[in-house]
């Protein structure tokens, strides 16, 4: 299934994309797409619906973040071997973890709004993992059973804030609008193997990132197992799992986003994102 949340910010409604690509309303069956509706039983109940009988949604409404009321927004850094090589950095011994503020989360096609003082805003196409089953001390063998589905995340990053303002990476990762998420949450049964997905990102029509989740240093299962050793994972938590090579900070000369730029992302089977860059007032 491809689950969505559509409508204006703060007023999103639950929906799904049917096999013909039509947006259909789920409001009669669930109040929202949140951790409360992402367990296997709840998803099975949605699968059992006759989608052709669901109301169609007219027009092309805004796609909000594909998960509402996200619990923890967990981010893994430097998790692609070819990206580490690009940055000239050693392969980490354990997954590098940082948090992104939930206030950064936006819809897949909402604008990226650079904050005052931003000079080095960068792009990062990433596979997002949405937890559907609570767990702690999860084994690697059973880790994917805790996944509700997958989505695209653009881990937009202000490198000056990240690297020069002292403290942890969170400062450069948490600016408002720096976490476009969606457009769809695709359930794990439809995705299959999360370690074989092609991914790409373009800026103004020029390909910047081309990669595959096959080059992850730590797999989705390994990441879930590792994080669950540290704290409980709950339905509605989102883990974004790192980016392949091609970020602006790794280029020579370095290249960063500017007002008016158009960023387009795609991950195989998970849809597309498109953002326009603008400056905060």
Position 84 scores a pLDDT of: 79
Per-residue pLDDT at 87 exceeds 90:
no
Pairwise CA distance, residues 154 & 105, whole Å: 10
CA distances from 202 to 209, 218, 236, 248 (A): 7, 25, 29, 11
Entry pTM: 0.96
- The structural domains of the chain, ordered by start, are 69-279 (3.90.850.10)
Q: Which of 137, 180, 176, 141 has its CA nearest to residue 158?
A: 176
Least confident of 17-26, 31-40, 156-165, 228-237: 156-165
Ramachandran bin of 164, using left for φ above 0, alpha for ψ from -120 to 50, beta for the remaining angles: alpha
Pairwise CA distance, residues 266 & 111, whole Å: 17
Per-residue pLDDT at 90 exceeds 90:
no
Summarize the confidence of residues 89-98 as an average pLDDT.
Answer: 91
pLDDT band at 168 (very low <50, low <70, confident <90, very high): confident
Pairwise CA distance, residues 175 & 233, whole Å: 24
Taking only the tens place, the pLDDT of each residue in 224-276 is 999 999 999 999 999 999 999 999 999 999 999 999 999 999 999 999 999 99
Paired strand residues for 24: 16, 56
Position 166 scores a pLDDT of: 76
What share of the chain has pLDDT > 90, as a percent? Answer: 90
* Contact present, 131 and 231 (Cβ < 8 Å): no
């Amino acid at each position: 299934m491809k689950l969505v949340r559509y409508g204006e910010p703060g007023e999103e409604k639950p929906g799904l994309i049917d096999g013909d690509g039509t947006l259909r309303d789920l409001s009669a069956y669930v109040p929202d797409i949140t951790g409360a509706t992402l367990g296997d039983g709840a998803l099975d109940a949605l699968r059992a619906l006759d989608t052709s009988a669901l109301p169609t949604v007219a027009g092309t409404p805004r796609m909000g973040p594909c998960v509402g009321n996200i619990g923890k927004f967990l981010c893994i850094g430097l998790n692609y071997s070819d990206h580490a090589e690009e940055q000239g950095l050693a392969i980490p011994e354990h997954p590098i973890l940082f948090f992104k503020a939930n206030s950064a989360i936006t819809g897949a096609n909402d604008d990226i709004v650079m904050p005052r003082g931003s000079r080095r805003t960068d792009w990062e196409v990433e596979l997002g993992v949405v937890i559907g089953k609570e767990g702690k001390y999860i084994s690697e063998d059973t880790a994917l059973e805790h996944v509700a589905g997958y989505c695209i995340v653009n881990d937009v990053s202000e490198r000056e804030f990240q690297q020069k303002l002292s403290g942890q990476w969170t400062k450069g990762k948490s600016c408002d609008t720096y976490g476009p998420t969606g457009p769809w949450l695709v359930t794990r049964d439809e995705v299959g193997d999360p370690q074989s997905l092609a991914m790409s990102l373009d800026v103004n029509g020029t390909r910047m990132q081309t990669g595959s989740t096959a080059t992850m240093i730590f797999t989705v299962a390994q990441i879930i197992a590792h994080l669950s050793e540290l704290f409980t994972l709950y339905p509605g938590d989102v883990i974004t799992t790192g980016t392949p090579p091609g970020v602006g900070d790794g280029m020579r000369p370095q290249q960063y986003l500017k007002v008016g730029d158009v960023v387009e992302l795609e991950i195989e089977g998970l849809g597309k994102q498109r953002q326009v860059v603008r400056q905060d007032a």
